[in-house]
Structure 1
């Protein structure tokens, strides 16, 4: 039985990915800032641990409690929607602390044990904004683009010591709480000068032609973990596939 540690499992992609691996015979370490034992089915193969990826001491405690980790899935993330000029720099830093530096910190925390065993997989969940930047999400897009480049570079380094790294890029999932953890209201981040620009964009978000489901992401993570081809990028969702085809043909 292999062990997978997943960050950000309190909802959305992370929660569904934890369920996906748990029902397929894996030992799952589901982490979240405020543990909730009722989110996942009771199982001897499940542990729920507190983890805030923006705090070094929280990361260290979770890794110590987890024991040997075969697969790390960096899923925890937050978003912010609004005009860039109206977005407080303090909140932009929060987005990067979670989406970018939190991922890097988790990687640094698990690489030594994986390298010592010459065995392990890291899967970083980014976004389809790495394929096509999303309007009114400049900070979020930048934080995910950074991880896209970081992961590609890291794959070269860790391949040298026998480890694998992969990227999962989900499309747009209307059911996820995209900006839930920022404490900002979208309305406060759309100054009058941007109102006409923003209105049709929000209308499109409300009725998207193609979307991504939590199951799409869990399936993509599963595929990334079990891949043997050395592939780096895995798309999740019909809209992510469409964006990739539009960009690369």
Structure 2
């Protein structure tokens, strides 16, 4: 039985991806910061573990408990909605710590074993904002663009050892917890600077007035991640969802 370790499985993309792999007969290590709050179903093939990708000891413990990892899915991340001027540098560093360096730390933790076995796949979950600039998401977009660039550059590094690296790029997904998490962070640290209030309100209204037929579902992402993990012919960067595909083509 193949084994996958997925980060950020409490809700949204991560949770659905864990269920998808489970349905395909995989052994799944679904990780999250607060496993007590997990709503994943009980299963002999499903193991819910605590993991904070910004804490080295947490990473070491989770990887050790999982044992041989055939596929790593870096899905955990932090959302943020604010202007550059309204984003403290400490907050920007926290976002990069989770979205980029956390994924990098997870890769470093599993790569020695994959290298020794000369097999394995790493799938990093990015964002369609890498294709098309979205106001107020500049810091978040920068972190995901860096994650994508890092993964693409890792492909030739890792392929010599039989390891594949892929990026899945979800489109707009209003049903996930991204917006709620971003709003929670903003509530704790202050809203937009006064000079940006009107612009922020207009931008948020436009985001909310999305076409319901052009959104990415958690199932879209789960299917794309599974393809990235199992299809040798899959491209390095794989859009997931209608709008992500359109944006990647410049439409």
TM range (shorter): over 0.9
Distance of 1:38 and 1:122 partners within structure 2 = 24
Farther-moved stretch of structure 1 (100-109 vs 184-193): 184-193
What TM-score, normalized by structure 1, do the two folds share?
Answer: 0.95
Residue correspondence of structure 1 range 76-91 to structure 2 within 5 A: 76-91=76-91
Unaligned residue ranges in structure 2 (runs of 5+): none
Distance of 1:26 and 1:67 partners within structure 2 = 14
Q: Equivalent residue for 2:40?
A: 40
Contact 2:80/2:185, CA 8 A, preserved across alignment: no
Where 2:36 maps in the other structure, the secondary structure is coil
Equivalent of 1:245, from 222, 236, 249?
A: 249
Contact 1:83/1:189, CA 8 A, preserved across alignment: no
| 1:79-110 Cα deviation digits (max 9, x unpaired) | 11011111122211110110000000000000
Q: Equivalent residue for 2:195?
A: 193
Distance of 1:51 and 1:186 partners within structure 2 = 23
Contact 2:53/2:105, CA 8 A, preserved across alignment: yes
Contact 1:81/1:189, CA 8 A, preserved across alignment: no
Contact 2:10/2:37, CA 8 A, preserved across alignment: no
Farther-moved stretch of structure 1 (191-200 vs 167-176): 191-200
Distance of 2:228 and 2:55 partners within structure 1 = 27
Q: Equivalent residue for 1:223?
A: 227
Distance of 1:16 and 1:184 partners within structure 2 = 26
| 1:113-170 Cα deviation digits (max 9, x unpaired) | 0000001000000000111122101110110010111000111100011100100000
Distance 1:37 1:140, change over 3 A: closer
Q: Equivalent residue for 1:7?
A: 7
Q: Equivalent residue for 1:64?
A: 64
Contact 1:120/1:164, CA 8 A, preserved across alignment: yes
Aligned residues between the structures: 247
Deviation at 1:204, TM superposition (A): 1.5
Q: Equivalent residue for 2:20?
A: 20
Distance of 1:4 and 1:16 partners within structure 2 = 13
Deviation at 1:230, TM superposition (A): 5.5
Contact 1:130/1:144, CA 8 A, preserved across alignment: yes
Residue correspondence of structure 1 range 94-243 to structure 2 within 5 A: 94-179=94-179, 180=181, 183-185=185-187, 188-209=190-211, 210-229=214-233, 231-243=235-247
**Aligned Cα root-mean-square deviation (Å):** 1.6
